[in-house]
Every structure is written in C-alpha cells, then in structure tokens.
Chain A
C-alpha cells in the first residue's frame, strides 16, 4: 500500500501552566509544578484536596472562544479543545478554506465532559435537594426530581456531556468535513486519537487532520471517582511534591486538566504550502491487555507489544529512541509495570534511555494526557531539552531506569517515544522524529 509521511505542522495547548504551547514549555522546561490546593469547590471532607488545574474560570475562558453562541453547548473540556485547536490551526498557518474539506478531518480524545462540570453537577444537586424539601425532608420525591430536572435544567445542557461535541465544534469552526471521530479510551484516548489521525493521512484517506485531546476532571465527581478507585494521591500535606512518578514514596497521581491539539498533514501537502513542520510522526501502535479492567498484567504484555509494534511501524530498532515520555502516573502499579515493560522492549539499552514523566509537573490529564505529553515531546525535540521527572527523591528498587530526576537535561533528541496506558487495558504508543529540513526535501 502506498504510504504517506505524516508531519506535525501546528500545535496548541492549554495546561495547568495556562493558555498556549509556549507557556507550557516555559514551565515544563524549568521543571515547574502546577500543583495547587483546590479552591474552586468545597474539598474539606475529600481525601484528596489538591490538583493541577487550569487556573482560568469561565469568565476568563469564554472570551477566548470565537463563536460566542456556541458556549452554551460547551463543557469546560470542550472549551479547552476549541481554544487549543484554534491555536494549532493558526500556528500551522493553515488556510482551511483552501483545503479539500472532505479530506480534512478531526480526531479527538475525550473524557467525562460536562455532566460533571461544577456548575452542572451543583445545579443537579440543588434540584435533588429541593425535592427533599418538598417531602418534608423525609424521603426523596423522585417524580419531583425529574419534573424539576425538566423545568430547571437548561435544555441544551445534555449536549455538553456528549463526547463528540468538542470534535463537532472544531469541525464546524474549521470546516473539517472529512472523517471526524472521537475516541474515549480513558487515559489512552488522545494518544489513540492522534495515532488514528496519523493513519488517516498515512493511508491516504485524509490530507490534513486536527488531532489531540481534551479533558477536565478536576471537579467533585472526578476527585471522588478517582479516590474511590484508589489511584489518586492523598498526600495533601505534601501536595506540592505529591506527584512523584517512579519514586519509592509515590501514592497515586495528581489530577490535571487541559488540552493539546495538533495539525497533522501529509509531508507532500506540507511541502506544497511551504509549511515548516515541528516533527514527523513515524510510529504508532495500540494494543489492549485483555486482562483486567485496571490491573496491568504482571508481564506487561500489552504495553510491551504496543512499544514493539510502534517501533516496527517506525521501522526502527530500540536503540534509535533518544527519550521516552513515560505514562508514569505515580501509582505503585503503573510505574513498576511500565519500567518492566521498557526493560523488556529495550533490554540492555533500557538503562541508557532517559525516561521522564511530565505528569510530575502537570498531573494526569486523563483523556488529554497522551496529547499533552506528545506536545511535551514535540517541544523537547524542538528545544533539544528533556523535561524532568520532578519530586524524585527516593529510588524504588523496582523502578531503576534513568528518570531524568528533578532537572531538565540538554540532549540530542532525534527520535522520541510517548507512552499512554489506560483503564480497560488500553495501550497506545507514538513515535516522533525530528524534521529539520524535511519540508525542503531532506
């Protein structure tokens, strides 16, 4: 089959460090942390009271959305996606009116969305509370709950909770009429979305794709849900340094939120319009552990095979990888199993590869994690600097790779692997390569 080369020509991000890919790198490259105590809602009685939020509320986010009428159908996550997509398209210098719209698509990873946004969930709770009041506090009048819901919830609020609405807004805003898809595979969502977009171009189905992911789970439901599952750090006393992937003292991840969106296009398309790419996507693979919902198999077969298949797709041997951006959640299980998986794939070379987790700085962005971490890789490659794993103090005997502890490191970065693993046994690996001179025939 005729295969096309796929390059990244635009990038946008909204992260705990603010709006824009530039701000993201300015902080990431410095080893800064987005950790903060949560003040946007009541957390006094929750086991976890910190996160790495995007420190912008609706009053600050809404003016960044061009189509103001669309705001009423946008969750917080959708706003992140639309803002980052605009940045990416502008950054790529893409004149979307000059594209064949049916060969221009979008592929986004998405998570829980508006059902759990703070305003919506608190309004729903109020409706339920009112139904209690009307039955003298004795019991819940369910009929009243549903009547109140119909009468008082905004009729468009259900649209905020549909996973494909951010993708639809992006398609509308940029006139992408080709294949538009939304992938919801938990923490692997956006890595898979980017990988599938890469395949659309590689196999000649699309010329240009807007690809990435967005998520916002720093809300009462998100905190409670991840607490129930026992995967989030409870180290409130040391919240500034609690996200500590691969460290012996780690006790779970810190929640983050945000989005990263890319413009991907075929190399020839990029050359024709004279764009300058950030890099080339040369490998992608996705596997499923088919083992247990949240446990990784002790032998790490799914993540091992995803890395191997991505290397095969890139036609590279393991020694070619200059840096691995790990999934590195800071949970006991992930970091140990990912270390094992890297050792199985890279064998003796594993200890020579720098492996870092940017989740130590920005937390776990769940459905957006893979996209934001690919943005970290693209920026690392551009700047030839490896972002560190911060908060790393005590080595774990079961995690014995070079985790680039605490300080960014200058390095020659030609090829980078980004890992994303998620609940449901989902694994996705992306490999990017430096593209200097590629636009001019190199």
Chain B
C-alpha cells in the first residue's frame, strides 16, 4: 500500500528520529543540517537513524542506494558533506513513491 506523506511529514518523522538518535534538540534540525558535520553523527549513528526511520515509516532503506542518491563515486568526506536531512527526505520520498 502506498503511504501518502507530504514532504513536511517525512521531514518531521526523520527529524524526530535524528533528534532521538543524536540527542540533539529537534528545533535545531533543518533540511540543510548535515548529519556528520553539523549534528555530530558518527557512522554507527547512521545505522541507528536508519533503524528509526524504517520502523517509523515501515519500509527498508537500502543504505548503498541512499549513498548513491547523494552522487556517484563520492569519497567518505564528500558523503559526510552531502548527507543532510534534505537528502534523506528526498531519498525517502522517492522510495515511498516507488512503493507499489
């Protein structure tokens, strides 16, 4: 079943998961927030955030596809630069739209 969520609703869901996972104030999280560079995430936090989003939205996130959605052949540093709340929201939105 296709889940119909607006971009704002997807953002709110992801931001809540990120806030909980990183123990940061949800009010400080915006679409432009970079998980590693602005919000202090480390690699294991991404697993935690992914788990929270999957359970909140009821679908599996393919981490490799998520990374590819940021751009092809990115270095670790570039991924840290690119991985924002906005990029997560865009990826999740696209995945939800593709669901049967």
Contact = CB atoms under 8 A, between A and B. Distances in A.
Contact of A155 (B22, B23, B40, B51): B51
A235 B3 CA distance: 57
Prevailing SS type, chain B contact patch: helix
Contact of B23 (A68, A154, A156, A159): A68
Given A156-B44, A156-B47, A159-B44, 16 more contacts: A68-B23, A69-B21, A69-B22, A69-B23, A69-B40, A69-B45, A72-B21, A72-B48, A73-B44, A154-B48, A154-B51, A155-B44, A155-B47, A155-B50, A155-B51, A156-B48
The 10 closest A-B pairs by CB, nearest first: A155-B47, A68-B23, A69-B23, A155-B51, A156-B44, A156-B48, A69-B22, A154-B51, A72-B48, A156-B47
Interface residues of A, number: 8
B6 to A, nearest CB: 27
Nearest to B54: A151
20 contacts: A68-B23, A69-B21, A69-B22, A69-B23, A69-B40, A69-B45, A72-B21, A72-B48, A73-B44, A154-B48, A154-B51, A155-B44, A155-B47, A155-B48, A155-B50, A155-B51, A156-B44, A156-B47, A156-B48, A159-B44
Interface of B: 21-23, 40, 44-45, 47-48, 50-51
Contacts of A154: 48, 51
Prevailing SS type, chain A contact patch: helix
Contacts of A159: 44
Contacts of A69: 21-23, 40, 45
Contacts of B51: 154-155
A330 to B, nearest CB: 41
Contacts of A155: 44, 47-48, 50-51
Contacts of B44: 73, 155-156, 159
Contacts of B45: 69
Interface string A62-84: 00000011001100000000000
Contacts of B47: 155-156
A363 B40 CA distance: 41
Nearest to A73: B44
Contacts of A68: 23
Nearest to A153: B51
A73 B44 CA distance: 10
A72 B23 CA distance: 10
B88 to A, nearest CB: 16
Nearest to B47: A155
A264 B11 CA distance: 49
B47 to A, nearest CB: 4
A234 B23 CA distance: 43
Interface string A235-247: 0000000000000
A155 B51 CA distance: 7
A362 to B, nearest CB: 33
Nearest to B22: A69
Contacts of B48: 72, 154-156
Pick from A69, A72, A73 the residue with the most CB of B within 10 Å: A69
A156 B45 CA distance: 9
Interface in A150-199: 154-156, 159
Contacts of A156: 44, 47-48
A107 B67 CA distance: 38
Interface in A28-81: 68-69, 72-73
Nearest to B52: A154
B24 to A, nearest CB: 8
